[in-house]
């Protein structure tokens, strides 16, 4: 530690006891939002039943949610022998089920699983990796989905599992099989019987990606099982997985196919808790160093404001990592402990899923309009990396827009930019590479004199040194350990520089004004007033009737947001605007359409507004044009007829929370 022991102890206590300022404490929609659908009871816990993309889902919510929002995904036979589910609910795990009928782990069922995973992961900030639970034919689901997404699985519990559909329902071994289910299986997989007998995509054949991802397995089997014979299923898995270097435990019972689970599920609970916690013995405060924090300036301006004027506005902007109650309240607690006489206003401007371009366009509304800004924390590295439409130039224009606007608002504002981390960023940094988002944000930070908390590199260094792993950190949405690492790096750097002598009459030092790295960065980014948008009669301005809009989920923050929207093909609108760029901050839902955009009657683009995450109404900023000459322009937009061949079925809808200009 680089501050005094007494002050460190005080701040550690503060970080665990002091919450957000009540002046503005916006809770995370993803953390606290209730689930849609009908509520019922599951062994004393609240169960929600709802549809996602027209298919059933169930989520049971623990009374107290465990750190990092861990969850167990029950594949089949909902509510049957629920001992493990109930035990994990008591430990703070959510229990989840995708209603697939008798789909036998087929590709269509796996698509439904994909949609539910994305919904829970992005809309409710569930842990990156799920614990999979497969009983009997549920084994086909858990192993097939794990092979499809090994990076999304913490461990697998399989109970008398089907691991080869030739064994069951095919009955091509010692078991009698199930002729009707076998016919269903062939139909679902699109195979003839001859093709099915030669099929090499069963769980017993597809273990390599699981072993490579080091997914631990635990099986419970009845040695007298004649329905799903052990020697044709689990025994083959065990032999092959061990040969691949995988970790597997098998608990044998002197029973047949039933009963499933264990009367006392403690061995299963212990296995799951052990393999879902990660490695590393040092505390989050002890494990971090100072080599990956680049301090630019002495942060005196915010210190003078807090120490001498005893008022301060501290703002945080970013995506879900900022919106969730993670590193942000810990940093707020540190500031209140360091400056106990200061009246703070804390602004949480995190909005899940949003990137730096959205940040640049909404900065005035969400941060700068709240008053003079003294200390500013920014994070967009993860969303700029994983949104799927981002390149270095886009990330640079968005982030430079955020920083340039903040410094134009107050040349004295101290800024800390944090690089959080997803698995792609971690993988690249561990081998000495970088990503477009971190490269772009680093250029902006260096050029504009912004301090950088490179948490991503710190984690990569620690993982390479085998001091901790990704599970310990908690994933893309860090758990308490990962968020404490981040807050500690910020705390150590700020407290060290603030501990240096500073005279009572020391003046603030404005940061030097610098030219833009890219003249078309969004340094004048803004939301355009609805009155600037001229529409035909097919468009509406107001709050959509969401229950009747589409079958995609909508976050609570957007359910009452006014929009400009239409679901009618050939709807047209026009916007007169000035600047170099035009686009829309929009919700891309499952019925999103294809649009054509024409500027000044010359340049025309056709844009498919569906997004990879359009199973729900995904917020994003879509730029139509951002290379225009600086001046007056007119945009014409039209919704086209739907057509086949899109990434999802789509439709003819377009919903803009706002149009944006630079």
Predicted local confidence at residue 36, as pLDDT: 86
Same domain flag for 325 and 250: no
Same domain flag for 269 and 293: no
Same domain flag for 469 and 349: yes
Burial of 199 (0-12, 13-18, 19+ CB in 10 A): middle
Q: Is residue 27 part of a domain?
A: no
Residue 603: CATH number of its domain: 2.60.120.260
Banded pLDDT at 532 (limits 50, 70, 90): very high
Same domain flag for 269 and 290: no
Banded pLDDT at 615 (limits 50, 70, 90): confident
The answer to whether the CB of 108 falls within 8 A of the CB of 83 is: no
Same domain flag for 270 and 415: no
- Tokens for 205? 């054949």
What one-character DSSP code corresponds to residue 259? S
Banded pLDDT at 277 (limits 50, 70, 90): confident
Domain count, the chain: 3
The answer to whether the CB of 475 falls within 8 A of the CB of 128 is: yes
46 pairs with which residues across the strands? 41, 61
Q: Summarize pLDDT for 410-461 with one digit per residue, the tens.
A: 999 999 999 999 999 999 999 999 999 999 999 999 999 999 999 999 999 9
Mean of the pLDDT values across residues 311-315? Answer: 98
Q: Is the peptide bond before 295 cis (omega within 30 degrees of 0)?
A: no
Same domain flag for 312 and 344: yes
Predicted local confidence at residue 388, as pLDDT: 56
pLDDT exceeds 50 at position 7: no
Mean of the pLDDT values across residues 608-617? Answer: 91
Closest CA to 614 of 114, 145, 130: 114
Residue 448: CATH number of its domain: 3.40.50.1110
The answer to whether the CB of 533 falls within 8 A of the CB of 659 is: yes
pLDDT exceeds 60 at position 11: no
Mean of the pLDDT values across residues 489-499? Answer: 98
pLDDT exceeds 70 at position 45: yes
Burial of 265 (0-12, 13-18, 19+ CB in 10 A): buried
Banded pLDDT at 612 (limits 50, 70, 90): confident
The answer to whether the CB of 317 falls within 8 A of the CB of 377 is: yes
Mean of the pLDDT values across residues 307-328? Answer: 97
Final residue of a domain: which of 213, 240, 275?
A: 275
Q: Is residue 290 part of a domain?
A: yes
Q: Is residue 519 part of a domain?
A: no
Banded pLDDT at 25 (limits 50, 70, 90): very low
Mean of per-residue pLDDT scores for the chain: 93
Q: Is residue 412 part of a domain?
A: yes
pLDDT exceeds 50 at position 91: yes
Strands (E), 38-128: 38-42, 45-52, 55-61, 71-74, 94-98
Predicted local confidence at residue 223, as pLDDT: 97
Higher pLDDT, 240 or 390: 240
The answer to whether the CB of 451 falls within 8 A of the CB of 293 is: yes
Same domain flag for 568 and 434: no
Predicted local confidence at residue 550, as pLDDT: 86
Q: Is residue 473 part of a domain?
A: yes
Q: Is residue 511 part of a domain?
A: no
Predicted local confidence at residue 33, as pLDDT: 58
Q: Is residue 67 part of a domain?
A: yes
Banded pLDDT at 647 (limits 50, 70, 90): confident
Q: Which structural domain, as residue segments, surrounds residue 263?
A: 39-275
Same domain flag for 412 and 540: no
Q: Summarize pLDDT for 580-591 with one digit per residue, the tens.
A: 999 999 999 999
CA distance 11 to 19: 13
Q: Summarize pLDDT for 260-274 with one digit per residue, the tens.
A: 999 999 999 999 999
Same domain flag for 139 and 252: yes
Predicted local confidence at residue 54, as pLDDT: 84
Final residue of a domain: which of 460, 478, 498?
A: 498
Same domain flag for 269 and 133: yes
Same domain flag for 308 and 423: yes
Same domain flag for 258 and 304: no
pLDDT exceeds 90 at position 28: no
Final residue of a domain: which of 246, 275, 304?
A: 275
Predicted local confidence at residue 425, as pLDDT: 97
pLDDT exceeds 90 at position 9: no
Closest CA to 441 of 429, 454, 459: 454
């Amino acid at each position: 530690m680089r501050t005094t022991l007494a002050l460190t102890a005080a701040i550690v206590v503060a970080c665990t006891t002091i919450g957000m300022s009540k002046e503005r404490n916006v809770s995370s929609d993803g953390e606290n939002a209730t689930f849609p659908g009908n509520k019922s009871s599951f062994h004393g816990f609240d169960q929600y039943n709802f549809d996602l993309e027209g298919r059933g889902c169930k989520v049971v919510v623990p009374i107290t949610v465990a750190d990092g929002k861990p969850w167990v995904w029950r594949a089949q036979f909902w509510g049957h022998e629920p001992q493990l589910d109930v035990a994990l609910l008591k430990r703070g795990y959510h229990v989840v089920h995708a209603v697939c009928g008798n789909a036998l782990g087929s590709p269509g069922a796996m698509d439904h699983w994909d949609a539910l995973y994305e919904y829970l992961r992005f809309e409710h900030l569930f842990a990156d990796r799920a614990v999979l639970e497969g009983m009997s034919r549920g084994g086909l689901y858990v192993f097939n989905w794990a092979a499809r997404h090994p990076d999304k699985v913490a461990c697998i519990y399989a109970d008398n599992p089907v691991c080869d559909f030739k064994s069951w329902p095919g009955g091509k071994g010692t078991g009698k099989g199930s002729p009707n289910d076998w016919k269903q299986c062939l139909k679902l997989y699109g195979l003839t019987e001859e093709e099915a007998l030669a099929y090499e995509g069963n769980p017993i054949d597809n273990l390599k990606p699981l072993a490579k991802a080091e997914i631990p397995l635990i099986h419970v089997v009845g040695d007298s099982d004649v329905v799903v014979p052990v020697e044709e299923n689990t025994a083959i898995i065990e032999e092959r997985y061990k040969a691949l270097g995988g970790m597997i435990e098998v608990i044998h019972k002197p029973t047949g196919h039933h009963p499933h689970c264990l009367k006392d599920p403690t061995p299963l609970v212990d296995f799951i808790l052990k393999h879902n916690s990660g490695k590393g013995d040092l505390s989050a405060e002890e494990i971090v160093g100072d080599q990956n924090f680049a301090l630019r300036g002495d942060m005196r301006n915010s210190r003078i404001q807090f120490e001498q004027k005893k008022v301060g506005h501290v703002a945080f902007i970013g995506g879900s990592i900022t919106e969730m109650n993670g590193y942000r309240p810990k940093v707020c607690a540190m500031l209140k402990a360091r400056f106990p006489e200061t009246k703070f206003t804390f602004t949480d401007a995190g909005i899940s899923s949003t990137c730096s371009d959205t940040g640049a366009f909404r900065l005035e509304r969400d941060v700068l309009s709240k008053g003079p800004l003294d200390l500013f924390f920014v994070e967009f590295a993860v969303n700029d990396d994983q949104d799927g439409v981002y390149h270095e130039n886009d990330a640079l224009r968005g982030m430079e827009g955020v920083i340039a606007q903040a410094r134009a608002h107050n040349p004295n504002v101290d800024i800390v930019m944090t690089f959080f981390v997803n698995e792609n960023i971690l993988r690249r940094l561990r081998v000495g590479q970088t990503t477009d988002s971190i490269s772009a944000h680093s250029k902006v930070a260096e050029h504009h004199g912004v301090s950088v908390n490179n948490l991503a590199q710190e984690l990569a260094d620690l993982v390479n040194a085998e001091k901790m792993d990704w599970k310990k950190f908690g994933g893309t949405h860090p758990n308490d350990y990962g968020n404490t690492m981040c807050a500690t790096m910020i705390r150590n750097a700020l407290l060290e520089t603030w501990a240096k002598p500073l005279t009572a009459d020391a003046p603030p030092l404005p940061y030097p004004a610098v030219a833009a790295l890219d003249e078309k960065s969004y340094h004048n980014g803004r939301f355009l007033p609805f009155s600037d948008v001229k529409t035909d009669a097919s468009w509406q301005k107001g709050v959509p009737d969401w229950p009747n809009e589409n079958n995609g989920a909508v976050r609570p923050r957007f359910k009452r947001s006014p929009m400009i929207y239409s679901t009618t093909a050939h709807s047209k609108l026009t916007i007169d605007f000035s600047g170099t760029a035009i686009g829309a901050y929009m919700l891309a839902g499952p019925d999103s359409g294809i649009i054509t955009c024409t500027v000044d009657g010359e340049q025309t683009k056709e844009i498919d507004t569906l997004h990879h995450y359009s199973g729900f109404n995904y917020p994003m900023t879509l730029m139509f044009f951002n290379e225009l000459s600086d001046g007056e322009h007119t945009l014409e937009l039209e919704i086209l007829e739907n057509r086949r061949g899109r990434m999802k079925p789509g439709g003819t809808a377009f919903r803009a929370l706002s149009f944006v200009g630079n």
